[in-house]
A and B are shown apart, each in its own frame.
Chain A
Protein backbone atom coordinates (compact mmCIF):
# COMPACT_ATOMS: atom_id res chain seq x y z
CA UNK A 1 0.00 0.00 0.00
CA UNK A 2 1.29 3.44 -0.88
CA UNK A 3 0.49 6.77 0.76
CA UNK A 4 0.21 10.02 -1.11
CA UNK A 5 -0.15 13.42 0.59
CA UNK A 6 -3.70 14.67 0.23
CA UNK A 7 -4.45 18.23 -0.95
CA UNK A 8 -5.26 19.19 2.66
CA UNK A 9 -1.82 18.12 3.90
CA UNK A 10 -0.07 20.28 1.30
CA UNK A 11 -2.36 23.18 2.12
CA UNK A 12 -1.82 22.91 5.91
CA UNK A 13 1.95 22.57 5.71
CA UNK A 14 2.40 25.42 3.21
CA UNK A 15 -0.07 27.77 4.90
CA UNK A 16 1.38 26.89 8.33
CA UNK A 17 4.93 27.77 7.28
CA UNK A 18 3.69 30.95 5.56
CA UNK A 19 1.88 31.88 8.79
CA UNK A 20 5.08 31.54 10.85
CA UNK A 21 7.11 33.58 8.37
CA UNK A 22 4.36 36.22 8.08
CA UNK A 23 4.26 36.54 11.87
CA UNK A 24 7.98 37.30 11.83
CA UNK A 25 7.53 39.76 8.99
CA UNK A 26 4.70 41.77 10.58
CA UNK A 27 5.85 41.29 14.16
CA UNK A 28 2.44 40.09 15.37
CA UNK A 29 1.65 36.69 16.90
CA UNK A 30 -1.76 36.12 15.21
CA UNK A 31 -0.49 34.67 11.89
CA UNK A 32 1.92 32.47 13.85
CA UNK A 33 -1.01 31.11 15.87
CA UNK A 34 -2.93 30.22 12.73
CA UNK A 35 0.22 28.68 11.26
CA UNK A 36 0.89 26.71 14.44
CA UNK A 37 -2.63 25.25 14.45
CA UNK A 38 -2.38 24.24 10.79
CA UNK A 39 1.07 22.69 11.27
CA UNK A 40 -0.16 20.81 14.33
CA UNK A 41 -2.98 19.27 12.30
CA UNK A 42 -0.51 18.30 9.55
CA UNK A 43 1.98 16.74 11.96
CA UNK A 44 -0.67 14.78 13.87
CA UNK A 45 -2.05 13.57 10.56
CA UNK A 46 1.32 12.38 9.25
CA UNK A 47 2.34 10.67 12.48
CA UNK A 48 -0.88 8.66 12.75
CA UNK A 49 -1.01 7.60 9.13
CA UNK A 50 1.68 5.12 8.16
CA UNK A 51 0.85 2.94 5.16
CA UNK A 52 0.68 -0.72 6.26
CA UNK A 53 1.81 -3.57 4.03
CA UNK A 54 -1.22 -5.20 2.45
CA UNK A 55 -2.48 -7.50 -0.28
CA UNK A 56 -5.60 -7.47 -2.42
CA UNK A 57 -6.85 -10.37 -4.49
CA UNK A 58 -9.93 -11.68 -6.27
CA UNK A 59 -10.94 -15.34 -6.19
CA UNK A 60 -13.44 -17.52 -8.01
CA UNK A 61 -14.10 -15.26 -10.98
CA UNK A 62 -15.58 -17.39 -13.77
CA UNK A 63 -14.16 -17.19 -17.28
CA UNK A 64 -17.59 -17.43 -18.87
CA UNK A 65 -20.90 -15.92 -17.83
CA UNK A 66 -24.35 -15.73 -19.33
CA UNK A 67 -26.09 -12.44 -19.93
CA UNK A 68 -28.57 -11.60 -17.17
CA UNK A 69 -27.48 -14.42 -14.86
CA UNK A 70 -25.75 -13.10 -11.71
CA UNK A 71 -22.65 -14.78 -10.31
CA UNK A 72 -20.51 -14.39 -7.18
CA UNK A 73 -16.81 -13.92 -6.60
CA UNK A 74 -14.68 -13.31 -3.56
CA UNK A 75 -12.53 -10.28 -2.70
CA UNK A 76 -9.80 -10.98 -0.19
CA UNK A 77 -7.93 -8.17 1.61
CA UNK A 78 -5.00 -8.86 3.93
CA UNK A 79 -3.44 -6.03 5.95
CA UNK A 80 -0.46 -6.13 8.30
CA UNK A 81 -1.96 -4.21 11.19
CA UNK A 82 -5.20 -2.39 10.51
CA UNK A 83 -6.67 0.45 8.49
CA UNK A 84 -9.79 2.53 9.00
CA UNK A 85 -12.62 3.00 6.55
CA UNK A 86 -11.64 1.67 3.16
CA UNK A 87 -13.26 1.79 -0.25
CA UNK A 88 -12.65 -0.89 -2.86
CA UNK A 89 -13.25 -0.01 -6.49
CA UNK A 90 -13.94 -3.25 -8.36
CA UNK A 91 -13.22 -1.85 -11.83
CA UNK A 92 -16.26 -3.59 -13.32
CA UNK A 93 -16.65 -3.44 -17.09
CA UNK A 94 -19.81 -4.88 -18.62
CA UNK A 95 -21.05 -5.97 -15.19
CA UNK A 96 -23.51 -4.45 -12.71
CA UNK A 97 -22.88 -4.68 -8.99
CA UNK A 98 -25.95 -6.39 -7.51
CA UNK A 99 -25.07 -7.15 -3.91
CA UNK A 100 -22.16 -7.25 -1.47
CA UNK A 101 -21.94 -9.57 1.53
CA UNK A 102 -19.57 -8.45 4.29
CA UNK A 103 -19.37 -4.81 3.23
CA UNK A 104 -21.54 -1.88 2.11
CA UNK A 105 -22.27 -1.23 -1.55
CA UNK A 106 -21.16 2.22 -2.71
CA UNK A 107 -22.17 3.40 -6.16
CA UNK A 108 -22.21 1.07 -9.16
CA UNK A 109 -18.78 -0.48 -8.89
CA UNK A 110 -17.45 -0.16 -5.33
CA UNK A 111 -17.98 -1.19 -1.73
CA UNK A 112 -16.81 0.17 1.59
CA UNK A 113 -15.57 -1.47 4.78
CA UNK A 114 -15.75 0.21 8.18
CA UNK A 115 -12.29 -1.03 9.06
CA UNK A 116 -9.92 -3.81 8.09
CA UNK A 117 -8.03 -5.66 10.76
CA UNK A 118 -5.64 -8.29 9.40
CA UNK A 119 -8.05 -9.97 6.98
CA UNK A 120 -11.33 -9.18 5.26
CA UNK A 121 -13.38 -11.36 2.94
CA UNK A 122 -16.18 -9.91 0.88
CA UNK A 123 -18.54 -11.81 -1.43
CA UNK A 124 -19.57 -9.76 -4.42
CA UNK A 125 -22.55 -10.56 -6.63
CA UNK A 126 -22.56 -9.09 -10.13
CA UNK A 127 -24.79 -9.39 -13.16
CA UNK A 128 -23.49 -9.30 -16.74
CA UNK A 129 -25.01 -6.57 -18.89
CA UNK A 130 -25.30 -7.54 -22.55
CA UNK A 131 -23.05 -10.02 -24.32
CA UNK A 132 -19.43 -9.47 -25.18
CA UNK A 133 -16.32 -9.04 -23.14
CA UNK A 134 -16.54 -8.09 -19.48
CA UNK A 135 -13.87 -7.75 -16.83
CA UNK A 136 -13.28 -7.44 -13.10
CA UNK A 137 -10.36 -5.38 -11.89
CA UNK A 138 -7.67 -4.45 -11.41
CA UNK A 139 -9.11 -3.69 -7.99
CA UNK A 140 -8.19 -0.48 -6.20
CA UNK A 141 -8.35 -0.02 -2.46
CA UNK A 142 -8.61 3.54 -1.16
CA UNK A 143 -8.26 4.43 2.47
CA UNK A 144 -7.33 7.53 4.43
CA UNK A 145 -5.10 8.18 7.40
CA UNK A 146 -7.00 9.22 10.57
CA UNK A 147 -7.07 12.95 9.77
CA UNK A 148 -7.19 12.38 6.03
CA UNK A 149 -3.71 13.82 5.51
CA UNK A 150 -2.60 10.84 3.45
CA UNK A 151 -4.42 9.05 0.69
CA UNK A 152 -3.59 5.36 1.09
CA UNK A 153 -3.92 3.37 -2.10
CA UNK A 154 -3.42 -0.23 -3.07
CA UNK A 155 -3.89 -1.55 -6.58
CA UNK A 156 -4.44 -5.19 -7.43
CA UNK A 157 -2.28 -6.52 -10.22
CA UNK A 158 -4.65 -8.69 -12.21
CA UNK A 159 -7.62 -8.10 -14.43
CA UNK A 160 -10.02 -11.02 -14.83
CA UNK A 161 -11.54 -11.23 -18.28
CA UNK A 162 -14.96 -12.78 -18.65
CA UNK A 163 -16.71 -13.73 -21.84
CA UNK A 164 -20.39 -12.92 -21.46
CA UNK A 165 -22.48 -15.13 -23.65
CA UNK A 166 -25.89 -14.07 -24.86
CA UNK A 167 -28.87 -15.77 -23.36
CA UNK A 168 -29.17 -18.70 -25.74
CA UNK A 169 -32.46 -19.64 -27.25
CA UNK A 170 -33.36 -23.32 -27.08
CA UNK A 171 -33.51 -24.61 -30.63
CA UNK A 172 -35.88 -27.52 -30.99
CA UNK A 173 -34.98 -28.54 -34.51
CA UNK A 174 -31.67 -28.23 -36.27
CA UNK A 175 -30.60 -28.81 -39.83
CA UNK A 176 -28.46 -31.87 -40.22
CA UNK A 177 -25.31 -31.80 -42.35
CA UNK A 178 -25.76 -33.87 -45.51
CA UNK A 179 -22.21 -35.21 -45.40
CA UNK A 180 -20.66 -36.66 -42.30
CA UNK A 181 -17.04 -36.92 -41.28
CA UNK A 182 -15.09 -39.78 -39.75
CA UNK A 183 -15.81 -39.07 -36.09
CA UNK A 184 -18.48 -40.86 -34.12
CA UNK A 185 -21.60 -38.83 -33.51
CA UNK A 186 -25.38 -38.71 -33.71
CA UNK A 187 -25.83 -38.40 -37.47
CA UNK A 188 -26.62 -41.39 -39.65
CA UNK A 189 -24.03 -41.57 -42.36
CA UNK A 190 -24.92 -42.42 -45.94
CA UNK A 191 -21.95 -44.83 -45.97
CA UNK A 192 -22.00 -48.44 -44.79
CA UNK A 193 -20.26 -49.61 -41.69
CA UNK A 194 -20.73 -50.59 -38.07
CA UNK A 195 -23.76 -48.88 -36.64
CA UNK A 196 -27.28 -49.40 -35.43
CA UNK A 197 -29.34 -48.04 -38.34
CA UNK A 198 -30.31 -50.75 -40.86
CA UNK A 199 -29.27 -49.96 -44.46
CA UNK A 200 -29.80 -53.06 -46.65
CA UNK A 201 -29.20 -56.79 -47.05
CA UNK A 202 -26.40 -58.36 -49.10
CA UNK A 203 -24.94 -61.86 -49.55
CA UNK A 204 -22.37 -62.98 -47.04
CA UNK A 205 -18.75 -62.35 -47.96
CA UNK A 206 -15.65 -63.85 -46.45
CA UNK A 207 -14.61 -61.82 -43.43
CA UNK A 208 -18.09 -60.60 -42.49
CA UNK A 209 -18.95 -60.57 -38.82
CA UNK A 210 -21.09 -63.68 -38.06
CA UNK A 211 -23.19 -61.51 -35.75
CA UNK A 212 -24.42 -59.51 -38.77
CA UNK A 213 -25.94 -62.59 -40.44
CA UNK A 214 -29.67 -62.20 -40.91
CA UNK A 215 -30.79 -65.77 -40.13
CA UNK A 216 -34.42 -65.33 -41.14
CA UNK A 217 -33.55 -64.11 -44.66
CA UNK A 218 -30.70 -66.65 -44.93
CA UNK A 219 -33.06 -69.57 -44.18
CA UNK A 220 -35.50 -68.34 -46.81
CA UNK A 221 -32.79 -68.00 -49.53
CA UNK A 222 -30.77 -71.04 -48.47
CA UNK A 223 -27.63 -68.89 -48.46
CA UNK A 224 -26.07 -66.57 -45.95
CA UNK A 225 -27.24 -62.98 -46.05
CA UNK A 226 -25.99 -60.21 -43.80
CA UNK A 227 -27.45 -56.90 -42.62
CA UNK A 228 -25.61 -53.77 -43.68
CA UNK A 229 -25.86 -50.75 -41.47
CA UNK A 230 -25.24 -46.98 -41.53
CA UNK A 231 -22.63 -45.85 -39.05
CA UNK A 232 -23.37 -42.94 -36.67
CA UNK A 233 -20.99 -40.15 -37.43
CA UNK A 234 -20.88 -36.47 -36.72
CA UNK A 235 -20.84 -33.55 -39.11
CA UNK A 236 -18.94 -30.30 -39.45
CA UNK A 237 -20.98 -27.13 -39.11
CA UNK A 238 -19.38 -23.86 -40.13
CA UNK A 239 -21.16 -20.68 -39.07
CA UNK A 240 -20.46 -17.56 -41.12
CA UNK A 241 -21.48 -14.39 -39.28
CA UNK A 242 -21.58 -11.29 -41.45
CA UNK A 243 -21.61 -8.04 -39.46
CA UNK A 244 -21.14 -5.49 -42.20
CA UNK A 245 -23.50 -2.81 -40.98
CA UNK A 246 -22.99 0.82 -40.14
CA UNK A 247 -21.89 1.19 -36.53
CA UNK A 248 -23.91 3.46 -34.25
CA UNK A 249 -27.14 3.10 -36.24
CA UNK A 250 -30.29 1.04 -35.76
CA UNK A 251 -28.68 -1.57 -38.00
CA UNK A 252 -26.33 -2.48 -35.17
CA UNK A 253 -29.16 -4.52 -33.65
CA UNK A 254 -28.74 -6.91 -36.60
CA UNK A 255 -25.29 -7.85 -35.34
CA UNK A 256 -26.80 -8.52 -31.95
CA UNK A 257 -29.38 -10.87 -33.49
CA UNK A 258 -26.74 -12.62 -35.62
CA UNK A 259 -24.50 -13.21 -32.61
CA UNK A 260 -27.35 -14.48 -30.47
CA UNK A 261 -28.44 -16.92 -33.16
CA UNK A 262 -24.88 -18.08 -33.82
CA UNK A 263 -24.29 -18.68 -30.10
CA UNK A 264 -27.49 -20.71 -29.84
CA UNK A 265 -26.53 -22.73 -32.91
CA UNK A 266 -23.03 -23.35 -31.59
CA UNK A 267 -24.43 -24.67 -28.33
CA UNK A 268 -27.10 -26.80 -29.98
CA UNK A 269 -24.74 -28.38 -32.53
CA UNK A 270 -22.09 -29.00 -29.85
CA UNK A 271 -24.66 -30.85 -27.77
CA UNK A 272 -25.29 -33.15 -30.73
CA UNK A 273 -21.57 -33.95 -30.95
CA UNK A 274 -21.03 -32.05 -34.20
CA UNK A 275 -17.82 -30.22 -34.89
CA UNK A 276 -18.29 -26.44 -34.90
CA UNK A 277 -16.30 -23.82 -36.78
CA UNK A 278 -16.88 -20.14 -37.28
CA UNK A 279 -15.94 -17.33 -39.64
CA UNK A 280 -16.72 -13.80 -38.50
CA UNK A 281 -16.77 -11.08 -41.08
CA UNK A 282 -16.29 -7.60 -39.67
CA UNK A 283 -13.37 -5.21 -40.04
CA UNK A 284 -11.15 -8.22 -39.41
CA UNK A 285 -11.85 -11.55 -41.03
CA UNK A 286 -11.17 -14.34 -38.53
CA UNK A 287 -12.00 -17.99 -38.45
CA UNK A 288 -11.81 -21.07 -36.27
CA UNK A 289 -11.65 -24.45 -37.99
CA UNK A 290 -14.26 -27.04 -37.00
CA UNK A 291 -13.53 -28.83 -33.77
CA UNK A 292 -15.09 -30.39 -30.71
CA UNK A 293 -14.89 -30.12 -26.96
CA UNK A 294 -15.48 -27.48 -24.35
CA UNK A 295 -12.19 -25.72 -24.98
CA UNK A 296 -12.96 -25.43 -28.67
CA UNK A 297 -16.48 -24.20 -28.01
CA UNK A 298 -15.05 -21.51 -25.78
CA UNK A 299 -12.70 -20.44 -28.58
CA UNK A 300 -15.63 -20.20 -30.97
CA UNK A 301 -17.69 -18.19 -28.51
CA UNK A 302 -14.81 -15.88 -27.64
CA UNK A 303 -14.42 -15.05 -31.30
CA UNK A 304 -18.14 -14.58 -31.65
CA UNK A 305 -18.23 -12.22 -28.66
CA UNK A 306 -15.61 -9.98 -30.20
CA UNK A 307 -17.66 -9.32 -33.33
CA UNK A 308 -18.09 -5.63 -33.99
CA UNK A 309 -19.98 -3.88 -36.77
CA UNK A 310 -17.49 -2.98 -39.46
CA UNK A 311 -16.68 -2.86 -43.11
CA UNK A 312 -15.67 -6.20 -44.60
CA UNK A 313 -12.74 -6.52 -46.99
CA UNK A 314 -14.44 -8.91 -49.37
CA UNK A 315 -11.36 -10.27 -51.19
CA UNK A 316 -9.88 -11.41 -47.89
CA UNK A 317 -13.27 -12.61 -46.67
CA UNK A 318 -13.81 -14.83 -49.69
CA UNK A 319 -10.36 -16.39 -49.35
CA UNK A 320 -10.95 -16.99 -45.63
CA UNK A 321 -14.40 -18.50 -46.02
CA UNK A 322 -13.43 -20.79 -48.90
CA UNK A 323 -10.39 -21.91 -46.93
CA UNK A 324 -12.20 -22.54 -43.65
CA UNK A 325 -15.55 -23.83 -44.95
CA UNK A 326 -14.55 -26.90 -46.98
CA UNK A 327 -16.40 -30.11 -47.61
CA UNK A 328 -17.83 -31.98 -45.80
CA UNK A 329 -18.86 -28.94 -43.76
CA UNK A 330 -22.39 -27.64 -43.75
CA UNK A 331 -22.11 -23.86 -43.97
CA UNK A 332 -24.75 -21.70 -42.38
CA UNK A 333 -24.46 -18.03 -43.36
CA UNK A 334 -26.16 -15.48 -41.10
CA UNK A 335 -26.16 -12.19 -42.95
CA UNK A 336 -28.11 -8.97 -43.36
CA UNK A 337 -27.20 -9.30 -47.08
CA UNK A 338 -26.37 -5.63 -47.36
CA UNK A 339 -23.63 -6.10 -49.91
CA UNK A 340 -23.74 -7.93 -53.28
CA UNK A 341 -20.24 -9.22 -52.47
CA UNK A 342 -21.80 -11.45 -49.81
CA UNK A 343 -23.95 -13.06 -52.49
CA UNK A 344 -20.78 -13.56 -54.57
CA UNK A 345 -19.12 -15.27 -51.63
CA UNK A 346 -22.09 -17.63 -51.18
CA UNK A 347 -21.92 -18.42 -54.91
CA UNK A 348 -18.24 -19.28 -54.57
CA UNK A 349 -19.06 -21.75 -51.78
CA UNK A 350 -21.81 -23.34 -53.81
CA UNK A 351 -19.48 -23.66 -56.81
CA UNK A 352 -16.98 -25.43 -54.56
CA UNK A 353 -19.65 -28.04 -53.79
CA UNK A 354 -20.20 -26.93 -50.21
CA UNK A 355 -23.60 -27.50 -48.58
CA UNK A 356 -24.48 -23.88 -47.89
CA UNK A 357 -27.67 -22.33 -46.43
CA UNK A 358 -28.43 -18.68 -45.81
CA UNK A 359 -30.41 -16.94 -43.09
CA UNK A 360 -30.97 -13.39 -44.31
CA UNK A 361 -31.88 -11.01 -41.51
CA UNK A 362 -34.88 -8.80 -42.09
CA UNK A 363 -33.33 -5.35 -42.42
CA UNK A 364 -36.32 -3.22 -43.32
CA UNK A 365 -38.01 -3.62 -39.94
CA UNK A 366 -35.09 -1.94 -38.16
CA UNK A 367 -34.60 0.90 -40.63
CA UNK A 368 -36.10 4.28 -39.73
CA UNK A 369 -39.00 5.49 -41.83
CA UNK A 370 -37.87 7.14 -45.05
CA UNK A 371 -38.88 10.80 -45.17
CA UNK A 372 -39.43 12.46 -48.52
CA UNK A 373 -40.10 11.16 -51.99
CA UNK A 374 -36.45 10.79 -52.98
CA UNK A 375 -35.58 8.76 -49.89
CA UNK A 376 -38.66 6.62 -50.31
CA UNK A 377 -37.71 5.90 -53.91
CA UNK A 378 -34.13 5.12 -52.91
CA UNK A 379 -35.37 2.75 -50.22
CA UNK A 380 -37.61 0.94 -52.73
CA UNK A 381 -34.79 0.53 -55.25
CA UNK A 382 -32.50 -0.80 -52.53
CA UNK A 383 -35.18 -3.27 -51.35
CA UNK A 384 -35.69 -4.48 -54.91
CA UNK A 385 -31.95 -5.00 -55.40
CA UNK A 386 -31.81 -6.99 -52.17
CA UNK A 387 -34.78 -9.06 -53.28
CA UNK A 388 -33.06 -9.72 -56.60
CA UNK A 389 -29.98 -11.00 -54.74
CA UNK A 390 -32.16 -13.39 -52.72
CA UNK A 391 -33.92 -14.58 -55.87
CA UNK A 392 -30.60 -15.17 -57.62
CA UNK A 393 -29.33 -17.26 -54.73
CA UNK A 394 -32.50 -19.32 -54.41
CA UNK A 395 -32.57 -19.78 -58.18
CA UNK A 396 -29.23 -21.53 -57.91
CA UNK A 397 -30.55 -23.97 -55.37
CA UNK A 398 -29.12 -22.27 -52.31
CA UNK A 399 -31.60 -22.49 -49.43
CA UNK A 400 -32.26 -18.93 -48.26
CA UNK A 401 -34.86 -17.66 -45.81
CA UNK A 402 -35.60 -14.25 -44.40
CA UNK A 403 -35.61 -14.10 -40.61
CA UNK A 404 -38.05 -11.49 -39.36
CA UNK A 405 -37.33 -9.81 -36.05
CA UNK A 406 -40.64 -11.04 -34.58
CA UNK A 407 -39.90 -14.70 -35.31
CA UNK A 408 -38.05 -16.97 -32.88
CA UNK A 409 -34.82 -18.53 -34.24
CA UNK A 410 -36.56 -21.87 -34.72
CA UNK A 411 -38.62 -20.46 -37.60
CA UNK A 412 -35.83 -19.82 -40.15
CA UNK A 413 -34.18 -23.13 -39.26
CA UNK A 414 -37.42 -25.03 -39.81
CA UNK A 415 -37.95 -23.22 -43.13
CA UNK A 416 -34.42 -24.07 -44.25
CA UNK A 417 -34.86 -27.73 -43.33
CA UNK A 418 -38.13 -27.88 -45.29
CA UNK A 419 -36.39 -26.31 -48.30
CA UNK A 420 -33.47 -28.71 -48.14
CA UNK A 421 -35.80 -31.67 -47.81
CA UNK A 422 -37.71 -30.55 -50.88
CA UNK A 423 -34.51 -30.15 -52.92
CA UNK A 424 -33.27 -33.54 -51.82
CA UNK A 425 -36.52 -35.18 -52.93
CA UNK A 426 -36.38 -33.36 -56.27
CA UNK A 427 -32.72 -34.25 -56.74
Chain B
Protein backbone atom coordinates (compact mmCIF):
# COMPACT_ATOMS: atom_id res chain seq x y z
CA UNK B 1 0.00 0.00 0.00
CA UNK B 2 2.90 2.31 0.78
CA UNK B 3 4.36 1.75 -2.67
CA UNK B 4 0.96 2.52 -4.23
CA UNK B 5 0.81 5.81 -2.32
CA UNK B 6 4.38 6.71 -3.29
CA UNK B 7 3.63 5.96 -6.91
CA UNK B 8 0.51 8.14 -6.79
CA UNK B 9 2.43 10.96 -5.16
CA UNK B 10 5.20 10.78 -7.77
CA UNK B 11 2.59 10.83 -10.54
CA UNK B 12 0.93 13.97 -9.14
CA UNK B 13 4.35 15.63 -8.61
CA UNK B 14 5.26 15.03 -12.26
CA UNK B 15 1.89 16.45 -13.29
CA UNK B 16 2.40 19.61 -11.21
CA UNK B 17 5.89 20.08 -12.58
CA UNK B 18 4.65 19.74 -16.16
CA UNK B 19 1.72 22.11 -15.50
CA UNK B 20 3.87 24.91 -14.14
CA UNK B 21 6.69 24.42 -16.65
CA UNK B 22 5.38 27.25 -18.85
CA UNK B 23 5.69 30.50 -16.81
CA UNK B 24 2.48 32.52 -16.36
CA UNK B 25 4.44 35.73 -16.92
CA UNK B 26 4.81 34.76 -20.56
CA UNK B 27 1.04 35.11 -20.97
CA UNK B 28 0.35 31.40 -20.72
CA UNK B 29 -1.98 31.46 -17.71
CA UNK B 30 -4.66 29.47 -19.51
CA UNK B 31 -2.10 26.79 -20.36
CA UNK B 32 -1.06 26.47 -16.72
CA UNK B 33 -4.72 26.41 -15.69
CA UNK B 34 -5.49 23.52 -18.05
CA UNK B 35 -2.46 21.64 -16.75
CA UNK B 36 -3.37 22.19 -13.13
CA UNK B 37 -7.00 21.11 -13.79
CA UNK B 38 -5.58 17.87 -15.19
CA UNK B 39 -3.45 17.41 -12.07
CA UNK B 40 -6.47 18.10 -9.86
CA UNK B 41 -8.52 15.46 -11.71
CA UNK B 42 -5.61 13.02 -11.46
CA UNK B 43 -5.32 13.62 -7.72
CA UNK B 44 -9.08 13.13 -7.29
CA UNK B 45 -8.97 9.94 -9.32
CA UNK B 46 -6.07 8.56 -7.34
CA UNK B 47 -7.66 9.49 -4.03
CA UNK B 48 -11.06 7.98 -4.75
CA UNK B 49 -9.90 5.10 -6.95
CA UNK B 50 -11.41 6.47 -10.18
CA UNK B 51 -9.52 5.30 -13.25
CA UNK B 52 -11.04 8.14 -15.27
CA UNK B 53 -8.75 10.58 -13.42
CA UNK B 54 -5.72 9.24 -15.32
CA UNK B 55 -7.47 9.59 -18.67
CA UNK B 56 -8.65 13.11 -17.79
CA UNK B 57 -5.12 14.17 -16.80
CA UNK B 58 -3.61 12.77 -20.01
CA UNK B 59 -6.24 14.52 -22.11
CA UNK B 60 -5.69 17.79 -20.19
CA UNK B 61 -1.94 17.71 -20.86
CA UNK B 62 -2.40 16.98 -24.58
CA UNK B 63 -4.92 19.86 -24.75
CA UNK B 64 -2.48 22.06 -22.83
CA UNK B 65 0.20 21.29 -25.38
CA UNK B 66 -2.18 22.10 -28.25
CA UNK B 67 -3.18 25.42 -26.70
CA UNK B 68 0.46 26.30 -25.96
CA UNK B 69 1.41 25.86 -29.62
CA UNK B 70 -1.07 28.57 -30.64
CA UNK B 71 0.66 31.16 -28.41
CA UNK B 72 3.60 33.22 -29.41
CA UNK B 73 5.78 31.87 -26.61
CA UNK B 74 8.51 29.31 -26.56
CA UNK B 75 6.95 25.95 -25.71
CA UNK B 76 8.50 24.49 -22.55
CA UNK B 77 9.51 21.80 -21.93
CA UNK B 78 10.36 20.50 -25.42
CA UNK B 79 7.98 18.04 -27.07
CA UNK B 80 9.98 14.88 -26.28
CA UNK B 81 10.14 15.93 -22.61
CA UNK B 82 6.39 16.56 -22.58
CA UNK B 83 5.76 13.08 -23.97
CA UNK B 84 8.20 11.59 -21.45
CA UNK B 85 6.47 13.30 -18.54
CA UNK B 86 2.92 12.55 -19.73
CA UNK B 87 3.75 8.85 -20.21
CA UNK B 88 5.60 8.69 -16.90
CA UNK B 89 2.67 10.34 -15.12
CA UNK B 90 0.19 7.87 -16.66
CA UNK B 91 2.46 4.89 -15.93
CA UNK B 92 2.95 5.82 -12.27
CA UNK B 93 -0.76 6.51 -11.77
CA UNK B 94 -1.64 3.16 -13.38
CA UNK B 95 0.99 1.45 -11.21
CA UNK B 96 -0.66 2.98 -8.17
CA UNK B 97 -4.03 1.53 -9.18
CA UNK B 98 -2.47 -1.85 -9.96
CA UNK B 99 -0.61 -2.07 -6.65
CA UNK B 100 -3.78 -1.21 -4.78
CA UNK B 101 -5.93 -3.87 -6.39
CA UNK B 102 -3.57 -6.85 -6.64
CA UNK B 103 -0.16 -8.08 -5.55
CA UNK B 104 2.79 -6.83 -7.55
CA UNK B 105 6.46 -5.93 -7.47
CA UNK B 106 6.64 -2.10 -7.26
CA UNK B 107 10.21 -1.90 -8.53
CA UNK B 108 9.41 -3.91 -11.64
CA UNK B 109 6.30 -1.89 -12.41
CA UNK B 110 8.13 1.42 -12.01
CA UNK B 111 11.07 0.16 -14.08
CA UNK B 112 8.71 -0.81 -16.89
CA UNK B 113 7.00 2.58 -16.68
CA UNK B 114 10.33 4.38 -16.99
CA UNK B 115 11.34 2.26 -19.98
CA UNK B 116 8.03 2.92 -21.71
CA UNK B 117 8.38 6.66 -21.07
CA UNK B 118 11.91 6.70 -22.50
CA UNK B 119 10.83 4.75 -25.59
CA UNK B 120 7.92 7.16 -26.09
CA UNK B 121 10.23 10.18 -25.75
CA UNK B 122 12.66 8.78 -28.32
CA UNK B 123 9.75 8.04 -30.66
CA UNK B 124 8.44 11.60 -30.23
CA UNK B 125 11.88 13.07 -31.00
CA UNK B 126 12.16 10.93 -34.14
CA UNK B 127 8.75 12.15 -35.28
CA UNK B 128 9.74 15.77 -34.55
CA UNK B 129 12.81 15.35 -36.71
CA UNK B 130 10.74 13.79 -39.46
CA UNK B 131 8.12 16.54 -39.64
CA UNK B 132 10.52 19.43 -38.97
CA UNK B 133 10.13 22.11 -41.61
CA UNK B 134 7.05 20.53 -43.05
CA UNK B 135 4.09 22.84 -43.09
CA UNK B 136 0.81 21.02 -43.09
CA UNK B 137 -2.06 23.39 -43.68
CA UNK B 138 -5.10 23.66 -45.93
CA UNK B 139 -8.39 21.82 -46.47
CA UNK B 140 -6.80 18.78 -48.12
CA UNK B 141 -4.40 18.26 -45.24
CA UNK B 142 -7.24 18.62 -42.73
CA UNK B 143 -9.29 16.09 -44.69
CA UNK B 144 -6.34 13.70 -44.78
CA UNK B 145 -5.84 14.18 -41.05
CA UNK B 146 -9.50 13.44 -40.26
CA UNK B 147 -9.44 10.38 -42.52
CA UNK B 148 -6.27 9.11 -40.80
CA UNK B 149 -7.82 9.72 -37.39
CA UNK B 150 -11.03 7.87 -38.31
CA UNK B 151 -9.05 4.96 -39.80
CA UNK B 152 -6.82 4.75 -36.73
CA UNK B 153 -9.84 4.82 -34.40
CA UNK B 154 -11.57 2.18 -36.51
CA UNK B 155 -8.55 -0.05 -36.47
CA UNK B 156 -8.15 0.26 -32.71
CA UNK B 157 -11.86 -0.56 -32.28
CA UNK B 158 -11.53 -3.60 -34.54
CA UNK B 159 -8.49 -4.91 -32.68
CA UNK B 160 -10.30 -4.25 -29.42
CA UNK B 161 -13.35 -6.25 -30.46
CA UNK B 162 -11.37 -9.11 -31.96
CA UNK B 163 -9.28 -9.49 -28.81
CA UNK B 164 -12.48 -10.07 -26.83
CA UNK B 165 -11.80 -7.17 -24.51
CA UNK B 166 -15.02 -5.31 -25.18
CA UNK B 167 -16.84 -7.82 -22.99
**A residues lining the B interface (CB < 8 Å):** 2-8, 10-43, 46-47, 49-51, 85, 87, 89, 106-107, 109-110, 112, 140, 142, 144, 147-148, 150-151
Contact = CB atoms under 8 A, between A and B. Distances in A.
B110 to A, nearest CB: 11
Given A30-B75, A32-B145, A37-B120, A7 B55 contact: yes
Given A26-B69, A148-B109, 17 more contacts: A8-B91, A11-B59, A15-B59, A17-B152, A19-B66, A20-B152, A22-B62, A22-B63, A24-B145, A29-B134, A33-B79, A34-B82, A34-B83, A38-B58, A46-B156, A46-B165, A85-B108
Contacts, number: 172
Contacts of B116: 41, 147-148
A106 B61 CA distance: 35
Interface of A, secondary structure class, is: helix
B66 A22 contact: yes
Given A29-B131, A34-B65, A37-B124, A23 B75 contact: no
B83 A37 contact: yes
Given A8-B91, A87-B103, A34 B70 contact: no
Contacts of A22: 62-63, 65-66
A30 B79 contact: yes
Interface residues of B, number: 59
Contact of A21 (B58, B108, B149): B149
B140 interface: no
B142 A34 contact: no
Given A34-B65, A46-B163, A87-B102, A17 B149 contact: yes
A50 B113 CA distance: 20
A114 to B, nearest CB: 10
Nearest to A144: B98
A32 B112 CA distance: 25
B83 to A, nearest CB: 5
19 contacts: A6-B94, A7-B94, A7-B97, A8-B91, A17-B149, A24-B149, A26-B67, A26-B70, A29-B136, A34-B86, A37-B83, A43-B155, A46-B156, A87-B102, A89-B103, A106-B104, A106-B105, A107-B103, A147-B116
B142 A24 contact: yes
A381 B18 CA distance: 72
Given A4-B165, A7-B54, A43-B159, A31 B62 contact: yes
Contacts of A4: 165
Contacts of B148: 20
Nearest to B68: A30
B12 interface: no
A8 B94 contact: yes
Contact of A34 (B79, B90, B91, B105): B79
Q: Which one of A4, A37, A43 has the greatest number of beta carbons of chain B within 10 Å?
A: A37
Q: Which one of B67, B87, B91, B119 has the greatest number of beta carbons of chain A within 10 Å?
A: B87
Contacts of A109: 103
B147 to A, nearest CB: 11
A87 B108 CA distance: 13
A17 B108 CA distance: 29
B102 A42 contact: no
A103 to B, nearest CB: 12
Interface in B28-75: 51-52, 54-55, 57-59, 61-63, 65-67, 69-70, 75
User: 10 closest Cβ contacts across the A-B interface?
Assistant: A22-B66, A15-B58, A110-B103, A31-B66, A8-B94, A7-B51, A11-B58, A28-B69, A142-B102, A87-B103
